[in-house]
Structure 1
Amino acid sequence: SHMPVHIVDPREHVFVHAITSECVMLACEVDREDAPVRWYKDGQEVEESDFVVLENEGPHRRLVLPATQPSDGGEFQCVAGDECAYFTVTI
Protein backbone atom coordinates (compact mmCIF):
# COMPACT_ATOMS: atom_id res chain seq x y z
CA SER A 1 0.00 0.00 0.00
CA HIS A 2 1.28 3.43 -0.86
CA MET A 3 0.49 5.68 2.07
CA PRO A 4 0.73 9.44 1.73
CA VAL A 5 3.53 10.99 3.74
CA HIS A 6 2.95 13.88 6.11
CA ILE A 7 5.33 16.34 7.70
CA VAL A 8 4.98 16.12 11.47
CA ASP A 9 7.38 18.93 12.35
CA PRO A 10 7.78 21.81 11.79
CA ARG A 11 4.20 22.94 11.26
CA GLU A 12 5.12 26.63 11.02
CA HIS A 13 7.57 28.67 8.99
CA VAL A 14 10.99 28.48 10.68
CA PHE A 15 13.28 31.50 10.71
CA VAL A 16 16.98 30.94 11.38
CA HIS A 17 19.47 33.74 11.84
CA ALA A 18 23.09 32.62 11.76
CA ILE A 19 26.48 34.23 11.81
CA THR A 20 29.14 33.48 9.20
CA SER A 21 30.96 30.14 9.64
CA GLU A 22 28.36 28.93 12.14
CA CYS A 23 26.81 25.46 11.73
CA VAL A 24 23.11 25.58 10.86
CA MET A 25 20.79 22.58 10.93
CA LEU A 26 17.31 22.55 9.42
CA ALA A 27 15.28 19.63 10.75
CA CYS A 28 12.12 18.10 9.36
CA GLU A 29 10.24 15.12 10.76
CA VAL A 30 7.99 12.94 8.62
CA ASP A 31 5.50 10.24 9.65
CA ARG A 32 7.10 7.43 7.62
CA GLU A 33 10.69 6.37 8.07
CA ASP A 34 11.03 5.39 4.41
CA ALA A 35 9.50 8.58 3.08
CA PRO A 36 11.51 10.28 0.33
CA VAL A 37 12.15 13.92 1.09
CA ARG A 38 13.59 16.57 -1.19
CA TRP A 39 15.20 19.81 -0.07
CA TYR A 40 15.04 22.97 -2.14
CA LYS A 41 16.79 26.29 -1.78
CA ASP A 42 15.30 29.27 -3.59
CA GLY A 43 13.45 26.85 -5.86
CA GLN A 44 16.46 24.70 -6.79
CA GLU A 45 16.83 21.15 -5.52
CA VAL A 46 19.69 20.90 -3.01
CA GLU A 47 22.50 18.48 -3.81
CA GLU A 48 24.90 17.20 -1.18
CA SER A 49 28.33 18.82 -1.33
CA ASP A 50 31.19 19.90 0.90
CA PHE A 51 28.96 22.77 2.00
CA VAL A 52 25.66 20.93 2.47
CA VAL A 53 25.08 17.65 4.31
CA LEU A 54 21.74 15.84 4.02
CA GLU A 55 20.99 13.44 6.86
CA ASN A 56 18.26 10.78 7.13
CA GLU A 57 17.75 9.14 10.50
CA GLY A 58 14.51 7.26 11.02
CA PRO A 59 11.70 9.78 10.54
CA HIS A 60 14.10 12.72 10.78
CA ARG A 61 15.47 14.58 7.77
CA ARG A 62 18.15 17.20 8.27
CA LEU A 63 19.89 19.71 6.07
CA VAL A 64 23.17 20.82 7.64
CA LEU A 65 25.26 23.79 6.57
CA PRO A 66 28.53 23.03 8.39
CA ALA A 67 30.03 26.51 8.04
CA THR A 68 27.60 29.07 6.73
CA GLN A 69 28.59 31.71 4.21
CA PRO A 70 26.50 34.74 3.28
CA SER A 71 25.49 32.94 0.08
CA ASP A 72 23.88 30.17 2.17
CA GLY A 73 21.06 32.49 3.18
CA GLY A 74 17.74 32.01 1.45
CA GLU A 75 14.41 30.25 1.40
CA PHE A 76 14.64 26.53 2.05
CA GLN A 77 11.87 23.97 1.62
CA CYS A 78 11.60 20.39 2.79
CA VAL A 79 9.16 18.62 0.46
CA ALA A 80 7.55 15.29 1.37
CA GLY A 81 4.75 14.12 -0.88
CA ASP A 82 2.24 16.97 -1.15
CA GLU A 83 3.49 18.68 1.99
CA CYS A 84 6.16 21.28 2.45
CA ALA A 85 8.00 22.83 5.39
CA TYR A 86 9.45 26.30 4.97
CA PHE A 87 12.68 27.65 6.43
CA THR A 88 14.17 31.12 5.99
CA VAL A 89 17.89 31.38 6.72
CA THR A 90 19.59 34.74 7.08
CA ILE A 91 23.33 35.06 7.58
Structure 2
Amino acid sequence: MSLNSADIKRIAHLARIEVSDTEAEATLTKLTGILGLIEQMQAVDTKGIVPMSHSQDVTQRLREDVVTETNQRELFQSIAPAVEGGLYLVPKVIE
Protein backbone atom coordinates (compact mmCIF):
# COMPACT_ATOMS: atom_id res chain seq x y z
CA MET A 1 0.00 0.00 0.00
CA SER A 2 1.50 3.30 -1.03
CA LEU A 3 0.49 6.65 0.35
CA ASN A 4 1.04 10.16 -0.89
CA SER A 5 0.77 13.63 0.66
CA ALA A 6 -2.85 13.96 -0.47
CA ASP A 7 -3.72 10.78 1.46
CA ILE A 8 -2.04 12.15 4.58
CA LYS A 9 -3.93 15.45 4.24
CA ARG A 10 -7.22 13.57 3.78
CA ILE A 11 -6.60 11.38 6.83
CA ALA A 12 -5.69 14.47 8.85
CA HIS A 13 -8.88 16.18 7.70
CA LEU A 14 -10.97 13.15 8.72
CA ALA A 15 -9.29 13.17 12.14
CA ARG A 16 -9.84 16.95 12.36
CA ILE A 17 -6.09 17.55 12.67
CA GLU A 18 -4.43 20.51 11.00
CA VAL A 19 -1.27 19.38 9.18
CA SER A 20 1.14 21.62 7.30
CA ASP A 21 2.89 20.48 4.12
CA THR A 22 6.17 19.79 5.96
CA GLU A 23 4.35 17.83 8.66
CA ALA A 24 2.50 15.88 5.98
CA GLU A 25 5.79 14.93 4.31
CA ALA A 26 7.34 13.87 7.64
CA THR A 27 4.24 11.85 8.50
CA LEU A 28 4.27 10.28 5.04
CA THR A 29 7.87 9.13 5.57
CA LYS A 30 7.05 7.61 8.97
CA LEU A 31 3.86 5.89 7.79
CA THR A 32 5.60 4.50 4.71
CA GLY A 33 8.27 2.99 6.98
CA ILE A 34 5.65 1.48 9.27
CA LEU A 35 3.68 0.02 6.37
CA GLY A 36 6.90 -1.39 4.90
CA LEU A 37 7.68 -3.10 8.19
CA ILE A 38 4.18 -4.58 8.27
CA GLU A 39 4.62 -5.91 4.73
CA GLN A 40 7.92 -7.53 5.75
CA MET A 41 6.31 -9.21 8.75
CA GLN A 42 3.39 -10.46 6.64
CA ALA A 43 5.83 -11.96 4.14
CA VAL A 44 7.33 -14.30 6.77
CA ASP A 45 6.12 -17.90 6.46
CA THR A 46 4.60 -18.83 9.82
CA LYS A 47 3.04 -22.16 8.88
CA GLY A 48 3.81 -24.82 11.46
CA ILE A 49 4.76 -22.32 14.15
CA VAL A 50 2.75 -22.68 17.34
CA PRO A 51 1.46 -19.37 18.71
CA MET A 52 2.79 -18.51 22.14
CA SER A 53 1.22 -16.50 24.91
CA HIS A 54 4.52 -15.13 26.20
CA SER A 55 7.98 -14.57 24.76
CA GLN A 56 9.59 -16.57 27.57
CA ASP A 57 8.71 -20.03 28.79
CA VAL A 58 7.57 -19.02 32.27
CA THR A 59 4.94 -20.48 34.54
CA GLN A 60 3.04 -18.95 37.41
CA ARG A 61 3.69 -20.41 40.82
CA LEU A 62 0.30 -21.35 42.18
CA ARG A 63 -0.68 -22.18 45.71
CA GLU A 64 -2.85 -25.17 46.43
CA ASP A 65 -6.57 -24.52 46.34
CA VAL A 66 -7.32 -25.19 50.00
CA VAL A 67 -10.02 -23.68 52.19
CA THR A 68 -8.31 -21.51 54.79
CA GLU A 69 -11.34 -20.01 56.57
CA THR A 70 -14.37 -21.67 58.03
CA ASN A 71 -17.94 -20.86 57.04
CA GLN A 72 -19.03 -17.88 59.15
CA ARG A 73 -22.40 -17.25 57.51
CA GLU A 74 -24.40 -17.74 60.69
CA LEU A 75 -22.17 -15.30 62.57
CA PHE A 76 -22.49 -12.62 59.90
CA GLN A 77 -26.25 -13.03 59.64
CA SER A 78 -26.62 -12.85 63.42
CA ILE A 79 -25.14 -9.34 63.47
CA ALA A 80 -26.97 -8.12 60.37
CA PRO A 81 -29.77 -5.55 60.90
CA ALA A 82 -32.38 -7.63 59.01
CA VAL A 83 -32.33 -11.14 57.57
CA GLU A 84 -35.14 -13.17 56.04
CA GLY A 85 -34.80 -16.63 54.57
CA GLY A 86 -31.02 -16.46 54.67
CA LEU A 87 -30.97 -13.18 52.70
CA TYR A 88 -29.92 -9.76 53.92
CA LEU A 89 -32.74 -7.20 53.84
CA VAL A 90 -31.79 -3.66 52.85
CA PRO A 91 -33.88 -0.50 52.70
CA LYS A 92 -35.42 0.48 49.40
CA VAL A 93 -33.27 3.14 47.76
CA ILE A 94 -35.07 3.85 44.47
CA GLU A 95 -38.74 4.74 44.48
Please report the TM-score for the alignment, with normalisation by the length of structure 1. 0.17
Kindly indicate which of the two structures has a greater share of residues assigned to helix.
Answer: 2
Kindly indicate which of the two structures has a greater share of residues assigned to strand.
Answer: 1
The one of the two structures with greater contact order (alpha-carbon pairs below 8 A, sep at least 6) is 1
